Every structure is written in C-alpha cells, then in structure tokens.
Amino acid sequence: MKMRLCLCVLTVMALVVPARSGETDSRLGKLRTLDNKDFFFSVPATKKAWEKRRQIVREQILVAAGLWPMPVKTPLKPVVHGKIDRDDYSIEKVFFASHSGHYVSGNLYRPKNKTGKVPGILCPHGHWPNGRFYEADEKTVAAQIKQGAENTPEGAKYPLQARCVQLARMGCVVFHYDMVGNADSTAIEHRKGFTDADAELRMQSFLGLQTWNSVRALDFLLSLPEVDPKRIGVTGSSGGGTQTFLLCAVDDRPAVAFPAVMVSTAMQGGCVCENSSHLRVGTGNIEIAGLFAPKPLGMTGANDWTIDIERKGLPELKALYKLYGVEDRVLARCFPQFGHNYNQVSREVMYNWFNKHLQLGQSEPVVERPFKPVPPKELSVFDTGHPRPADTVNAERLRQIMTEQSNKQIAALLPNDAKSLAEYRRVFGGALRAMIHDELPKGNEVEEIRQGEIEKHDGYSSRRFFLSRMGQNERIPALGLLPDKFDGTVVVWIHPQGKTSLFQDGKLISAAKTIIDRKAAILAVDVFGVGELSLEKPYSVNPQYAGFTFGYNRSLLAQRVHDILTAVAFAKNHDKVQSVHLVGFDKSGPWVLLARGLCGDAVARTAADFNGFRFDQVRTTNDEMMLPGALKYGGLPALAALAAPGELFVHNYRNTGSGQWLKPVYEAAGAKNKHQRVSAKETDDKVVEWLLHS
C-alpha cells in the first residue's frame, strides 16, 4: 500500500512511531553465536508460504556450503575390495574421488541372501574419537551396560559398527564413511586449511567439503546396482547428525532421515565442519531439518543441548508437517538419562523408524542383535595392495583445484542472450541475496521512528528521523530534505560520512543544493557503522574461524547494504514519488552497487564510485569489506551487473575489470547504452548532473 505524502515526502504517517529515549539499534548489542539458546522456528501460516521460505533457506545453505551452483561432478572411480564375510552380511573397503585428488573412504555393509532392489543407507559418523575406527575402552563399556545404554559388550565397544551391522541385517546396503581428517581420511587435517580470508571470499570450508563428500557418497551408493534409489536413508549423530540434515536439506534423493542428538533450539554445532558463513543467519537447525518435510524425519535427544527437543522444536515441526497432512512423519524422542550418544536405546528408535518408512518388513519392535566386531585396523581401506592414491592432495592444493573449477563454472555463466541472462540472474541474484541475507523489503515492512520536527530552510524543509524494518528494532538515522516545489524524484544519498556530508559550514554542499534546486528530494542515512550509528569498537569477528561469526550474523558490509535497501524501500513507497535514484560516494560506492543488484526496478538511476575496489584486496576476515563468497561470484563487477537494465554510472573503476561483466550483461539485457564507466574519479557535482539528467 502506498503511503500518503504529508508536509515532508519522507514521512510515512501510517507507520510513524515516536522515538523513545534510551533506545539504540539492536545490532549494536552482542553478536549471535552458535551457543545462543533461541534458535526458534516460526512456522509459516500456509504451505505456499513455507514452500517459498523453504527455497530461500535451501539456496542460503547451498551458498554457505559453496555448492551454488552445484559443482560439476567428476568421475568417482571407486575402488571396492577386501570383503569380510559374516553370517548374514559382508563388509567391504571403499574409496573414491569426490574431487580430483580428494578421496572419500569408508566401509560398505551388504546384506546376504537378498534379491531385487534393497534400500541404501548413508552413515556419517560424527566426532567420535578415531571416527569410523572408534573403540570404547573397557571402563566405558562397563558403564554403558550398567546404565542400560547398551545391552551387549560388542555394541558398547563398537557402537558405530553395531549400527551398520544391524541395518545390513535388516536388508539395507550401508555406507559408513569418514569425516575429513578421521580414520583413513588423513590427507587433510580436521579443522585446518579452510579458515583464512581467501577461503571465506571463495566460500570454501570444511562444512562445504564434507557436504559435498556426502553428496558424492550418495552418488556412490546409488551407483550400486542392487540399491533402490527410491528407498534411501541417512543417519548420523552429533556432527554426523549435522551432516545428515545438511545433506537432506540440499539433495532431494534421500527418502528418510534420522539425525541423532543434534537438532535443537540451543547449541547449533561447535566445530568448524558444522559451521560456515551465511549458514544460520536468520535460521537454525530446527528449520534446516524441517526442509526435509514432508519426508519422514526422526530425531533423538539426550542430556545435552538437545534435551528440550520434544517441547522446543518438535511441536513446530509437527505444525510444519501438518501443512502437508502428515504429522506422523516427524518424531523426536529424548532420553535425558543418557549423555550425548548414539547408544542402543537411541539406535533402536532409528531401526524401527527406518523399518516403517523404508518398508523393510521386520517384525517390530526391532531389537539390535549381537554381532562379531571387526578390529578397527582390519577396516582400513588402504593396504599394500590398495595404497593411498598417488594423486592425493593436501588442503592447499585441493583449494586450488576447487578455485579453478569454480572460476570456470562461474565464467561460463557470462550471459549473451535472454536465456543465459535469466540463468545469470538466478545464480548471481540468489547468491547475492544469501550473502546479504536480504532483499528489497516491501514499503509496509519499513517503519519511521520520529525524532524531530520539520524545520524550514531557504527553498526546502528538513526533518530527522530513524528507519527500521518492522519488528527488528533497528534505528537507522535518516535526514529528509524536501524542496518547496517537489517533482516526484527522491535521491537516496549514501556517503561514508553519512548525512553530515550534505553540509559544509552549515550550508548545503554544491551537489546537494543542485538536487534541491532541481526540485528533487534527498534521503540521507547513516548506515550501520557510520555517523550516529558508528561502532564504539571494531566489528568483532571470531579470530579462530570467521564462520563462527558470519554464520550467525551479517557481515559489516552486508549490514550496510541492508540499510541501503531499507532506505530505498522507504523512499519508494510514497504516493507522490515517481522515481528513486541511488548515489554512493567515495568508499560507499561498492555498498551501493551491491544494494542496487537487489533493488530491481525500484531504482531508476544509480551512480557509484567504484573506489578502485576489488574483493581480492581483502586479506583479513575482519576487514570492513569482507563479504564471504564475493570472489566466488566474480567480485564486485559481476554482482554490480545485476543492476541491468537499470541506468548505471560508475567511475573510479581503475583496474577492476568491470567491463568483463558489466558490458556483456547490459548487452544481453538489451541495455548496452544504459551504463557508463569512467576510469577517473568524477566530482560530486558531475555525478549528480548525470543522476538528474533528463
């Protein structure tokens, strides 16, 4: 609904909220972390609304994992050997290439005496000591049996083997595979090699690598002729639970999921392999697990961060599944008498869940049977006859390979016609929305918080106020200038000095006066970290791993883009406003160019100082221009080209290579004459002259 004009064009009467003393922008408080206890899920009112939200969150996860677009799949070249026979199942040793030079290793459990297609189960293992080779000591075995967590010594000593054996005995082909840096996967150390600024800018992370390994593990499982592609299950606990719900969030092939002791409204995952930038901004594990709806989803909780799953999380997931009419397809059982685990009590919940939803035909209740364990060293996939492949690479080389492949894939998206332009917009637009965690809000989603009264000046009036997204408790300082005779044009003015840049010695600077003299209004805002919204201390980024910060909070740059979008939406949503122009001066030019890519046709003309900026100049994760993923998607020129076909003037673009994207994108959009690039830095007056040209 358009808002009516009253005295000042930048006053929204229906949404005016009086300023309250002592209020500050909520973003100036503590940043969110993985240990927040409020990762609640608000279920949309309708299935249609959920499907829209589901697509947004799924794209966000794919971007966060470095899998948007999905990488080109190279040949797996699997090696399967060393069969170990047991009574009604067998175990084999497997390795295959998920990337060139990077290998996934694990064990394949197969049922005997089965005909026809059988279900397939992926088992990621999580952070067990020695991973797939986990072996409990005798003290732990005795304690597990005493407290009723396990019924047999072998199950207590080898709970990971027990899970795979029982599922194989139930008629499933089971692939139990290594996390990076565990068991046979030792070429890359767990938690190291993917935590610097360049990795962030290219969206390369342990979480992304492990998610990709899971996708390729599923490819391997489905390559087996006996596996039924319609009956695929995934289950893991703790970090393996994270891998379970992330795979099921981004891949449509699994049919049943059972992440154990991980899904909760509290701690979201404490390892670098469970976190990445962008992953949980505005979302959390409950909603991410819910992306699997309406497929069957089972979970367990314990005396850890998942202890409240039955009353915090499950009710919301039940409500979500109710939108599909299948409330019975989601289950959570908590066993508070046990600590963090995937013990026999919990495993048997999973066995019965899979038995029901994979149509395994077992008599219920399914109870785990005793088995003959295999000593861990005998499960190792590499031996004298099958050594580790000679082309195995370390983290540094793998990242080079990933960068080369990604650069080639992204370059191929350079558009040259309407079809390729649509694909460019889909991929790059989706990536930018995920990196900024925003899109242009509707006008009624922005509120004005009154600060001062209208002041009259020679030829114009002014008023100070705050802007905020509805319900987000933001306070973006704003200044509106309205000429005495208004022609319907508003210029959104973005400057590193904020709204004070409009004046010098108490008078409007020449460029601002020109706008007013041309009968256009000005909306100037202090974006996050600028002017009245300045930070008392630098934006705090976790020094161990930036994903622990940017996985839960917008980057400083993204916050600024968010505020620009708020200002544009506010300016646009007035009944007497005919056009909105956007201008970014000095180092705010890149902020404006990123925002412009999300504005669609809400902005008529945009003028911005490229400021000679390139994202490869960002060398630390706490740089104010850090935007995780920006280099992966072609840097500023490629993202700025999302402005096409809107009129665009960029200057001071020295050595940015902007023509590599701006020119062809604008040509593909049929707007080759609607953008101009100037290598020199133009004066503010010339920039405004272009902005207001007839």
Structure-block tokens of residue 215? 């996708």
- 3-class secondary structure for 4-61? CCECECCCCHHHEEECCCCCCCHHHCCCCCCCCCCCCCCCCCCHHHHHHHHHHHHHHH
DSSP classification of residue 551? T
Task: Classify domain 52-380 at the CATH superfamily level.
Answer: Alpha/Beta hydrolase fold, catalytic domain (3.40.50.1820)
Q: What is the pTM of this model?
A: 0.95
DSSP classification of residue 691? H
Cα-Cα end-to-end distance for the chain: 29
Q: Where are the domains of the chain?
A: 13-30+421-691, 52-380
Same fold, 13-30+421-691 and 52-380: yes
Q: Which CATH architecture has domain 13-30+421-691?
A: 3-Layer(aba) Sandwich (3.40)
Sign of CA dihedral 279, 284, 289, 293: negative
* pLDDT tens profile 268-299: 999 999 999 999 999 999 999 999 999 999 99
Triad 107, 139, 237: Cα angle to 5°? 40
> How far apart are alpha carbons 52 and 50 in whole angstroms?
5
What would the DSSP string read from start to end of 337-378? Answer: TS-S---HHHHHHHHHHHHHHTT----SS--PPP-----GGG
> How far apart are alpha carbons 632 and 382 in whole angstroms?
35
The number of beta carbons lying within 10 Å of the beta carbon of residue 114 is: 15
Tell me which residues of the chain have a pLDDT lower than 70: 1-22, 655-659
Site of tokens 């007497």: 576
> How far apart are alpha carbons 134 and 126 in whole angstroms?
11
Beta strand spans in 166-294 (E): 173-177, 227-237, 256-260
CB of 493 closer than 8 Å to CB of 512: yes
What strands, in cross-sheet order, belong to the sheet with 297-302?
79-85, 89-99, 102-111, 173-177, 118-124, 227-237, 256-260, 297-302, 330-335
- Burial class from Cβ neighbours inside 10 Å (0-12, 13-18, 19+) for residue 21 reads exposed
- Pairing between strand 79-85 and 16-18? unpaired
* pLDDT tens profile 23-40: 789 999 999 999 999 999
- 459: alpha, beta or left, given left = phi > 0 and alpha = psi -120 to 50? left
